[in-house]
Structure 1
Amino acid sequence: MARAARLLELMQALRRHRAPVSGVDLARELGISLRTLYRDIATLQEQGADIRGEAGVGYVLRPGFTLPPLNFSVDELEALVLGSRWVAVRGDARLGAAAGNAVAKIRAVLPAELRESVDAATLTVPAFTTAEPAKVDVSVIRAAIRKEETLSISYRDTSGAHTQRTIWPLLIGFFERVMVVPAWCELRKDYRAFRVDRILAVEATGARYPRRRAEMVKEWRARQPPLTAARN
């Protein structure tokens, strides 16, 4: 493997590991010797990569450093195209359009032979004709999740009863026929999972919820079985 490609692979490996990873594990993952790994890490550090290393703990890449842009492999392009097609089929209209725009931007800067790989991608995603349509603009929910802000929703539960809720949205989960939003519900004073197709109205409040979303997501996952549309 060429040295430039090896350095890129090392950067990618460090990005994949959010927690510190040992030199032995990195070397094994990359198929190189520990001595080569140490040499490559020193090279990246000289080029400005903020790689922190501590004996007994491992290496971690601090955010903010990128190598000069390099070409995608054919497999990477097929993964990107497949992902964008899945989002176009399953996401809301704005997210689907964004997926298409992202692939168009990538395609525009590719050399001709790789551009043809995008156009002739061998993988596809079937249309989901049985999916339950959302009655609200899902981008409002996504924006609230990013900003860690509460939402006011009108919700129809499994029994058909309508309630007004204030929720702290955490994620959007995609299932075969529905999208589900796990959230802290102020009415129930507990975590609940809300089916998006049963949200009749949604309004951004602009109020931040008092806890960090990342902490709440961990708490949700620890307390719940695999994400399901819980009874509300």
Structure 2
Amino acid sequence: MNQLRFRTRLVLILSLFAIVPALVLTLLWGGTVSTALPFVTGRPAWDSVAASGEKAIAAARQSALTPSQRRAIDAHERELRTSVEQARRYSFLAARTVRVIAIAGILALLVLTGAASRVAGHLSRQLSRPLDELVRWTELIGHGESLPPPPERMIVSSGPRKNGEGGTTIEVTTSRVRGAPEFETLRRSMREMVSELEHGRRQAVEAERLHAFRESARRVAHEIKNPLTPIRFAL
């Protein structure tokens, strides 16, 4: 199996760092809310209170009561029924709210996942493209080939203003590969290194050429000296 590209690995790592915490927080939030809402409603407690209250009211009505006491018992019964009905309604809404919260959590997770993917893709492009370019440059340097030309610089100037003042001039650098400013520093350093290597290579060639000239001159001098030696002794 071929290894994944650097950009693909970078996207996966950045996405995991963004998506996993969001997923964990969303699950914790949804689980906490769905677990806590049934306890907040208090429906079982109200059902128990309603059952015991109905028994107490029924027992109280069997005894001899004054009209005011009967009115008080009737009012208490109405309040009890109203409270139980509200508790049941709140329990019904809480059960539906859990579903709404679950759907909202899923939607929020999808939005966070999409945003994290976009951010991870942008960051991976900002990092992988300059690095790929620098890797290609190292291969060119290793093969002794020249680097691509530097980006072109365009000067954009605006016309004169209405009040007669001069316009502004802006120098724009066009480059196909973008990235952080640190990558531009690396590119500049690599170009300087290539220039120094080329200068050193030329100096080495010149030194080798001078050495070859000296060696040739020494051999020529030796060849000239050999026939002159017996002539000098003869004289």
TM range (shorter): under 0.3
Q: Which has the larger radius of gyration?
A: 2
The structure with the largest strand share of the pair is 1
The structure with the largest helix share of the pair is 2
